Structure 1
């Protein structure tokens, strides 16, 4: 084991020799592969969201609802025809892009090839950004699943939970809450330690920083628990509705579609985030020196890194969620990929119908106010 240390002072000889992050080569290779695999899909997602907005503006112009001297601004019209689901999906895409930006810094730091200043920058900034994006993804996936269930339950529309204004306000609350929890980890003072190849980010933290880090883990775990409860409740109610609608063919069809979409997103949610939170709490005890046995700390660190890599896999799943749940996005992708367009079959008609439905709804509202 290399003779470098995670702590420069105030630690015993056994703790100084306990290096937990000297086996990060395989993880770094997997993160590089994940970045390569997920970057095109997320870049295509950005392009498709932009293109879908332009397509909606073009449709409205054809109908003569924008572009007139007295007509509304195109951006305002597209904003009016958005749905709550599109707001949550767009915020999920922003969280994914934030994670993609943080991954190269993590890879360089874990390989031990980054300059010392860049390693410290990762611990103070990009690592915190990674966790902000992680919990933003958790929150918005839970909101997407809940919103998907509410879309299928027409008797809940009176609650006005699917209004675009409410979705935007809720999204803003999620981001502000995460920033309030996470940003202090960036700005709290750090210790000055000896330059070393295998830097443990917790070794940079002062006692105050470690205490705030523990509080951050507790609050984020609470957020995950609430999001998981919403996912389980929405999925359970969707399956209950599916089982209760066996005698109604129309209801059975719509309930089956809703249950299938909820199952796919909920499966991605469970696979990505549950294992990480099983390991997160005991690993925090090792970070805060409650657990001091070196072998135990090494095992917990490897478990944390393995499950964190599993959590990052949602970067590959999310473009599929965008394609499946957002009809304008799906229409843009099918217009780009010939094989998808040719084999779309009867599924293309609902996509066009959904997009046209949004245009018609906006048209009616604008003509009523003219």
Structure 2
């Protein structure tokens, strides 16, 4: 006979505030990502190594936007069993596919920026478009390998509909075990990618600071680049670090290593709060495109300049 405390433990009964923020993120992310898509499509100079990674990052963001409406409906209190199953089997794995694809592509962008600044002739192959395309294919294979089984492994045949049904409630043991394994693999991806991001951006900041002090004529450009890289690094840390700090403890509640109801609820709320932070990168990414990609920046600036010129020339 199961523990009665676990059968009545409802951890997801206060999700409406999260849904409100997700709606805002979805609307802002959709608008800015469509602008980014237009800029990359119309740009004549988008086929560079770093731009390949940025375009893949944008593709990942559109996958996230496919998943967010389902999560929003679920968080608003829709307890349809079919919606819950679809969220657990499709939209939730899509969110994690986006997260880890984004983390890896952001690390590639950081490394590529470092290579551009150092202009190392020994590493020219790493800056070729063909290499970027190959690495992008490897990234998609990796994140799909980790997360697609969460979609494909069968769930329980007879699911009892109840208030507060969670994804772990509908999974068989195999599904729970693979989910836990995918979390471990995701953590490994995060730690390796974060090392690349922090090391590359740290070395870039060091070079820019030295350049700022040694070349007075280049101070303004170096200071501007220094601020941009520092902001991008801070956004990465704020967006992804808190989630991974609480992800593993929360996973222990899903596999019943932690069974105390109040602790489970606290960890669930911490996980959802930090997941919201991580999904906020949907709004930050277009800013990254503007800072990093010259072709993107040129197209957007030209479009707004043309619009401003037309409005000024209109007769009153």
Deviations 1:252-273 (A, max 9, x none): 6665454333222211111100
Match of 2:204 among 231, 238, 249: 238
* Residue in structure 1 matching 2:295, options 324, 328, 337: 328
Q: Note if 1:164 corresponds to 2:129.
A: yes
1:54-109 per-position Cα deviation (integer Å, ceiling 9, x unaligned): xx2xxxxxxxxxxxxxxxxxxxxx7xx72111001000101111111100001112
Match of 1:176 among 125, 128, 141: 141
CA contact (8 A) 1:99 1:129 kept: yes
Using the size of structure 2 for normalisation, the TM-score is 0.91
Note if contact 2:246-2:267 (Cα within 8 Å) is conserved in structure 1: yes
Q: Provide the C-alpha distance between the structure 1 equivalents of 2:39 and 2:147, rounded to a whole number of angstroms.
A: 31
CA distance 1:341–1:320, change in 2 (3 Å) = farther
Aligned positions, number: 307
Pick the aligned partner of 2:17 from 26, 39, 52: 26
Does residue 51 of structure 1 match 2:42? yes
Give yes or no for the alignment of 1:111 onto 2:76: yes
Q: Is the 8 A contact 1:145 1:266 kept in 2?
A: no
- Aligned partners of 1:341, 1:43: CA distance in 2, in Å? 20
User: What does residue 115 of structure 2 align with?
Assistant: 150
* 2:265 aligns with one of 298, 301, 305: 298
- Whichever of the two has the greater Rg, that structure is 1
Matches of 1:199 and 1:98 in 2, distance apart?
A: 25
Shift of the 340–264 alpha-carbon distance from structure 1 to 2, 3 Å rule, reads farther
Alignment of 1:188 with 2:179, yes or no, is no
**1:242 and 1:252 in contact (8 A); partners too:** no
| Superposition pairs of residues 136-285 of structure 1, within 5 angstroms | 136-156=101-121, 158-191=123-156, 192-245=158-211, 246-249=213-216, 255-285=222-252
User: What residue ranges of structure 2 are gaps of 5+ in the alignment?
Assistant: 310-316
Taking the aligned partners of 2:141 and 2:32, their CA distance within structure 1 comes to 27
Cα pair 1:150 1:157 within 8 Å, conserved: no
Equivalent-residue separation in structure 1 for 2:167 and 2:293 (angstroms)? 39
C-alpha distance in 2 between matches for 1:268 and 1:281: 22
**Greater mean deviation of Cα atoms: 39-48 or 192-201:** 192-201
Residue pair 1:235, 1:259 contacting (<8 A) in 2 also: no
Q: What TM-score do you get using the length of structure 1 for normalisation?
A: 0.78
SS in 1 for 2:2: coil
Work out whether residues 106 and 122 of structure 1, in 8 Å CA contact, stay in contact via their aligned partners in 2.
yes
Offset at residue 11 of structure 1 (A) = 3.3
DSSP-derived class of the 1:160 partner: helix
CA RMSD across the alignment? 2.0
User: Residues of 2 paired with 1:338 and 1:258: CA distance?
Assistant: 23
Q: Do the aligned residues in 1 keep the contact of 2:79 with 2:163 (CA within 8 Å)?
A: no
Residue 247 of structure 1 deviates from its aligned partner by 2.2
